[in-house]
Amino acid sequence: MATTEVHPASEPARWAYLDRIRTRPGPFTNPDSFDGKVVAEAMENMKILVIGAGGLGCELLKNLALSGFKDIHVIDMDTIDISNLNRQFLFRQTDVGSFKAEVAARFVERRVKGVKITPHNCKIQDFDEDFYMQFQLVVCGLDSIEARRWINAMLVNMVDEEVEDSYKPLIDGGTEGFKGQARVILPTVTSCIECQLDMHAPRAAVPLCTLASIPRQPEHCIEWAHVIAWDQEKPFPDLDKDDPEHITWLYQKSLHRAREFNIPGVTYSLTQGVVKNIIPAIAATNSVIAAACCNEALKIASNCAPFLGYPDNNYMMYSGNDSIYTYTFRHERKDDCPVCGTLARPLPDIDQAWTLRDLVDSFAARPEAQLKKPSVRAEGKTLYMQSPPSLEAQTRPNLDKTLVELGLVDGQEIGVTDPAFATVVFKYRLKFKS
Amino acid sequence: MTEIVMSQTPPILHGPSEKERKYDRQLRLWAASGQAALESANMLLVNSGAGTVGSETLKNLVLPGIGRFAIYDEAEVSEADLGVNFFLDDSYLGKSRSRGVTELLLELNPEVEGSWYPNEGVRTLDALLAGSQVFTVIMYTHPIQPEQLSQLEAYGQKHRTPLVAIHSAGFYSFFQINLPGAFPIVDTHPDETAATDLRVLRPWPELVSFAEDLTKSIDDLDNFEHGHLPYVVILLHHLEQWKATHDGKYPATYKEKTEFRKIVQAAARTNTPEGGEENFDEAAAAVVKTLVAPSLPSGLKEVFEYEHTDPVEQSSGFWVIADAVKRFYETHQCLPLPGKVPDMKAHSRVYIQLQNIYKAKARKDAAEILEMVQATPGGQHVDPAEVDLFCKNAAFVKLINATGWGSDAETPRIDRLRSVAAAEFAADASAELTLTPLSHLPIYLALQATAHLPASQPPAVGAILSAIAALVPGAERNERVVQAAHEVARAGAGELHNVAALTGGMVAQEMIKIVTKQYIPVDNTCVFDGVEGRCQVLRL
Ligand SMILES: [Zn+2]
């Protein structure tokens, strides 16, 4: 098996190690889908998209450039902050303030000869289907679940059964502290990010009455300053969470409130962490997860070994807190997935005494929905629209009507849209509490 | 998920320093104490072969700011290096690889020092080991010359320096940590929910009277007061009532606890606007995990049973404190109270009072242990903060590598490998029935078989299998071992960048855990399979 000849593309001496693996079959290579003669050249002609040029993104660009991909695009709207430098190794102190995508692309192009990296300093939502159609593979290193859901919905909706090129595998990585996950989504074939949404349940929000009258934790004091005191006092026109002056104001407010209630533990660092929802991040974990993603990209692009997503497992969970533990498993597709399924997803525990406002407000915290600005339709009728303002004004009176008054019954199917997912209509079925 | 560590310093009104801003995302994981440990670390990488896994490991250690590193690597930069190693470029072709990697790594963090060998002044590994400040840890990559390995092992024994072997080839990799004797960790960062210890089955007088005061006329409380009783108080109140009707005994069996939970739930008022009471819901939900009699966790039991006779161990603060905690446990039949109270529905004032009762008891327990520590010979020098930390984490203290290695080991390493092999192959035979993932031992064997093979001689399947036969006789006939040998031969001693980067990430995590003595390191071998995308930890 291992004696088969090598079929290198350009610069055989430089890519000798890679070519040994990607152009020769091994004991686990599927002979029906593998053709070692064409792999190297095919990969050089592929166009691959990286979303995010942060902690994972820097690693992804390095890894893909050293995996034989030559035409890489990267999207990131952010600029470099000093707190990125402990892990985003393509950036230096002098790059602070510059666009991440731009700096990262130039650095990897300089270091790895022959690779072309095209930066896009903007949001993923600035591009349409035509843009995404040009890539053969999409790799995501994002910290926001919203952006993941957006690109997932885009790629699933792009699938046209008649057009083979319309299937774009999506590889997604995420980290938190010493933990992370890597997953492969083959749109409409495997479970998608929306199917797996419940694995990323939002943190339960602290009730407003706790913040307002019975704080017990330092976090309650900080949230009070952030949510209540800021709005009352408006010390600056708009809250900029990256402005130290703004954070200092919140910190002092929180500290004052904490002293009033004898609550210990408010610090500047905690204030910043709560207000910005900071997730701890280190180079080592990004290295693990980004490499796991790119390892799958190489296998998908070359078929030189079986990849996640087909036929069995599609998800690798990694934890490094207590020894090292990985759990690699198959997450099943859900027929009631609002993005890739056909059935409406049940929405349990609905109280029929609720007003439409209660229902609308509940979408943000529900693990199976997590929609912050939902507009609701039922049986072709618009019940509430967030925008445009004229329609919002027309439908606003419905918010105070109860579900029953609006004619919604147990088992009712409703359609929900959200500006964060322009084209997608989430289908849900209301299930009333007995 | 991950517990977030916050600075322990008293509130200051100015913002964070430049350095605190740069390291903010990691200080939330290992705090200033962990950072200080990293900054005083001096690491050596002995690099060889394709050479990438070592550079990737160091990248992940230079970024968070280790003090200094040295690279010993006899290779010169070749074309093949440029296709796999990000920390080299064309300008280094034909030059020392250790120099190229060192220079490009140093660009990542101006606060880190680095040096490269061999050079004009220091020509051999031996000379480097003899002439350097003591290394905190040493990492070496396979293949390694046997005489160099012996030098490193001798150094590790002499200076009690952890040694880490790393091997990455094609889709496969492993690393193996050799610690110098038993390695205790106090700051293990357990999951916050797991670490909650409310002691409702062992309340002390202050807690009892606090709960009694709040509940003595529980039925006369108005709805607001009733709906804000902390759930700990609700549990204590109903436990007293239960005891009164059950011969003074607490609910012990699962059935009794279920019954007790129903009693608690039924005590909630339903004539409220919400139709229930959140604090009673919290109390009912906490019954099963809170009504647990104090017991000795297995990790701490291992610490208590470990015979620490080594003079280095004798004089360490850890063992002095561990002995005191053991005596405390024997006297009180429970561990020192950690003192943390989770958030629960309550008035601010009542919650803070409750929190203070727990904190005061925790301080009292810690003071008792500190007194015992200070009465022990050598205990006068133990830092009271170390005692506090131990008391807070006592239930989660962990001992790694309790049975030692090398010449200290109870069983020679080769015997241990053979007995693990027998167990792993037996488990594989029934894996289909038990639905357990297949063993990665075949991968370990196939890589280990090429551990000393110079990179210039790509391994052949036959040679790999005969080397495996010498390690574990008979394993060379195992079908999965043969497959692994073919996969290793396919790589031809070359690395895939992704597998090197992934392995470098894991090793760096381990180095951080060992240097900061926080979180729990691998004990002792981790094998990665990039075909399946999965790790397995084996104790070899
Ligand atoms: Zn789906």
Q: Which two tokens stand for residue A97?
A: 């303030």
B180 and B65 in contact (C-beta within 8 Å)? Answer: no
Q: Which two tokens stand for residue B172?
A: 């496969």
Rg of chain B in Å (alpha carbons): 28
Instruction: Evaluate if residue B39 carries a pLDDT over 70.
Output: yes
Q: How many angstroms is it from A412 CA to the middle of ligand 1?
A: 21
Closest CB from A20, A179, A318 relative to B2: A179
Lowest-confidence pick of A78-87, B166-175, B191-200, B204-213: B191-200
Residues with Cβ within 8 Å of B456's Cβ and at least 6 positions away in sequence, in order, are none
The three-class DSSP label of residue B47 is strand
Comparing alpha-carbon positions, the chain A residue that sits nearest to B503 is A288
Backbone angles phi, psi at A349, to 5 degrees: 60, 35
Q: How many angstroms is it from A27 CA to the middle of ligand 1?
A: 33
- Per-residue pLDDT band for B14 (boundaries 50, 70, 90) equals low
Per-residue pLDDT tens over the stretch A218-276: 999 999 999 999 999 999 999 999 998 999 999 999 999 999 999 999 999 999 999 99
Note the pTM of the prediction, 2 decimals.
0.93
Q: Which two tokens stand for residue A34?
A: 């593998």
In the prediction, which pLDDT does B395 show? 95
Q: Which two tokens stand for residue A45?
A: 């002609």
| Neighbour-count burial of A382, counting CB atoms closer than 10 A to its CB (0-12 exposed, 13-18 middle, 19+ buried) | middle
Between A and B, how many residue pairs show a Cβ–Cβ distance under 8 A?
Answer: 283
Cβ contacts of A308 on chain B, cutoff 8 Å: 533
Among B258, B239, B261, smallest CA distance to B250 is for: B239
Lowest-confidence pick of A162-176, B351-365, B408-422: B408-422
A205 and A223 in contact (C-beta within 8 Å)? Answer: no
Q: Cβ of B486 and A328 within 8 Å? A: no
In the prediction, which pLDDT does B10 show? 46
B229 and B215 in contact (C-beta within 8 Å)? Answer: yes
Report the pLDDT averaged over residues B163-167. 98
- Per-residue pLDDT band for B408 (boundaries 50, 70, 90) equals low
Instruction: Evaluate if residue B403 carries a pLDDT over 80.
Output: no
Residue A402: beta bridge partners? Answer: A355
Angle ∠(A78,A83,A88) on CA atoms, nearest 5: 70
Instruction: Kindly report the average pLDDT of chain A as a whole number.
Output: 93
How near does any CA of chain B get to the CA of A338, in Å? 27
Per-residue pLDDT tens over the stretch B104-150: 999 999 999 999 999 999 999 999 999 999 999 999 999 999 999 99
Report the pLDDT averaged over residues A67-90. 97
Determine which helix (DSSP H) or strand (DSSP E) holds B463, and give its type and residue range: helix B461-471
Per-residue pLDDT tens over the stretch B220-250: 999 999 999 999 999 999 999 999 999 999 9
| Strands A345-350 vs A381-384: parallel, antiparallel or unpaired | unpaired
> Phi-psi category of B410—alpha, beta or left, where left has phi over 0 and alpha has psi -120 to 50?
alpha
Closest CB from A27, A59, A316 relative to B534: A316
Among B334, B389, B331, B103, smallest CA distance to B200 is for: B334
How far apart are the C-alpha atoms of B283 and B235, rounded to whole Å?
A: 6
Catalytic sites of A, residue numbers: 209
In the prediction, which pLDDT does B12 show? 52
How far apart are the C-alpha atoms of B105 and B61, rounded to whole Å?
A: 10
Position of tokens 């220091």?
B122
Position of tokens 């109860």?
A402
Distances (CA, A) of A60 to A175, A206, A290, A293, A306: 13, 36, 5, 8, 20
Q: Which two tokens stand for residue B64?
A: 């968070």
Lowest-confidence pick of A28-32, A348-352, A399-403: A348-352
- Per-residue pLDDT band for B404 (boundaries 50, 70, 90) equals low
B208 and B216 in contact (C-beta within 8 Å)? Answer: no
Closest CB from A266, A267, A324 relative to B522: A324
Q: What is the 3-state secondary structure (H, E, C) of A69-118?
A: CCEEEEECCCECCHHHCCCCCCCCHHHCCCEHHHHHHHHHHHHCCCCEEE
- Per-residue pLDDT band for A433 (boundaries 50, 70, 90) equals confident
In the prediction, which pLDDT does A349 show? 87
Q: Is the dihedral of CA A180, B515, B389, A254 positive or negative?
A: negative
How far apart are the C-alpha atoms of B472 and B455, rounded to whole Å?
A: 24
Query: To probe the interface with B, which of A3, A288, A299, A328 has the most B CB atoms within 10 Å?
Result: A288
Q: What is the 3-state secondary structure (H, E, C) of A240-294?
A: CCCCHHHHHHHHHHHHHHHHHCCCCCCCHHHHHHHHHCCCCCCHHHHHHHHHHHH
In the prediction, which pLDDT does B193 show? 79
Per-residue pLDDT tens over the stretch B423-436: 999 999 998 888 88
Helix ranges restricted to H, B91-248: 97-106, 125-131, 146-159, 205-215, 223-226, 231-245
Residue A118: beta bridge partners? Answer: A73
Among B278, B259, B204, smallest CA distance to B236 is for: B204
- pLDDT more than 70, % of chain B: 96
Q: With an 8 Å Cβ cutoff, is B520 touching chain A?
A: yes
Q: How many angstroms is it from A193 CA to the middle of ligand 1?
A: 6
Cβ contacts of B393 on chain A, cutoff 8 Å: none
Q: Which two tokens stand for residue A265?
A: 């533990």
A414 and A380 in contact (C-beta within 8 Å)? Answer: no
Q: CA A143, A141, B6, B135: dihedral to nearest 10 degrees?
A: 180
Position of tokens 């890519």?
A15
Q: How many angstroms is it from A327 CA to the middle of ligand 1?
A: 21
Determine which helix (DSSP H) or strand (DSSP E) holds B504, and give its type and residue range: helix B497-516
Position of tokens 């995501």?
A140
Closest CB from A27, A83, A215 relative to B487: A27
With a threshold of 0.90, tell me whether the complex ipTM lies above it: yes
Per-residue pLDDT tens over the stretch B383-398: 999 999 999 999 999 9
Per-residue pLDDT tens over the stretch A186-228: 999 999 999 999 888 777 888 999 999 999 999 999 999 999 9
Q: Which residues of A316-341 are buried (b: 16+ CB within 10 A; e: fewer)?
A: bebbbbbbbbbebeebebbeebbbbb
How far apart are the C-alpha atoms of A124 and A150, rounded to whole Å?
A: 8
Query: To probe the interface with B, which of A322, A329, A354 has the most B CB atoms within 10 Å?
Result: A322
A364 and A371 in contact (C-beta within 8 Å)? Answer: yes
Cβ neighbour number for residue B331 with a 10 Å cutoff = 10
- pLDDT more than 90, % of chain B: 86
Among A65, A68, A163, A187, smallest CA distance to A118 is for: A65
Backbone angles phi, psi at A345, to 5 degrees: -85, 130
In the prediction, which pLDDT does B4 show? 47
Angle (deg, nearest 10), helices B461-471 and B479-491: 130
Residues with Cβ within 8 Å of B20's Cβ and at least 6 positions away in sequence, in order, are A269, B27
Residues with Cβ within 8 Å of A116's Cβ and at least 6 positions away in sequence, in order, are A70, A71, A72, A109
Homologous superfamily of B20-181+497-538 in CATH?
Answer: NAD(P)-binding Rossmann-like Domain (3.40.50.720)
- Per-residue pLDDT band for B8 (boundaries 50, 70, 90) equals very low
Cβ contacts of A63 on chain B, cutoff 8 Å: 497-498, 501
Among A101, A69, A280, smallest CA distance to B519 is for: A280
Q: Could you check whether the bond before residue A31 is cis, i.e. omega within 30 degrees of 0?
A: no
In the prediction, which pLDDT does A367 show? 79
Instruction: Evaluate if residue B6 carries a pLDDT over 50.
Output: no
Q: What is the 3-state secondary structure (H, E, C) of B392-454?
A: HHHHHCEEECCCCCHHHCCCCHHHHHHHHHHHHHHHHHCHHHHCCCCCCHHHHHHHHCCCCCC
In the prediction, which pLDDT does A61 show? 98
Rg of chain A in Å (alpha carbons): 24
How far apart are the C-alpha atoms of B476 and A339, rounded to whole Å?
A: 49
Count the alpha carbons within 13 Å of A237 in the hemisphere toward its beta carbon: 0
Report the pLDDT averaged over residues B182-190. 95
Count the alpha carbons within 13 Å of B329 in the hemisphere toward its beta carbon: 18
Per-residue pLDDT tens over the stretch B334-380: 999 999 999 999 999 999 999 999 999 999 999 999 999 999 988 89
Cβ contacts of A109 on chain B, cutoff 8 Å: none
DSSP, res B518: B
Instruction: Evaluate if residue B15 carries a pLDDT over 50.
Output: yes
Cβ neighbour number for residue A400 with a 10 Å cutoff = 10
Q: With an 8 Å Cβ cutoff, is B487 touching chain A?
A: yes
In the prediction, which pLDDT does B2 show? 41
* CA max distance for chain B: 87
Domain definitions of chain B by residue range? 20-181+497-538, 205-290, 298-400, 411-491
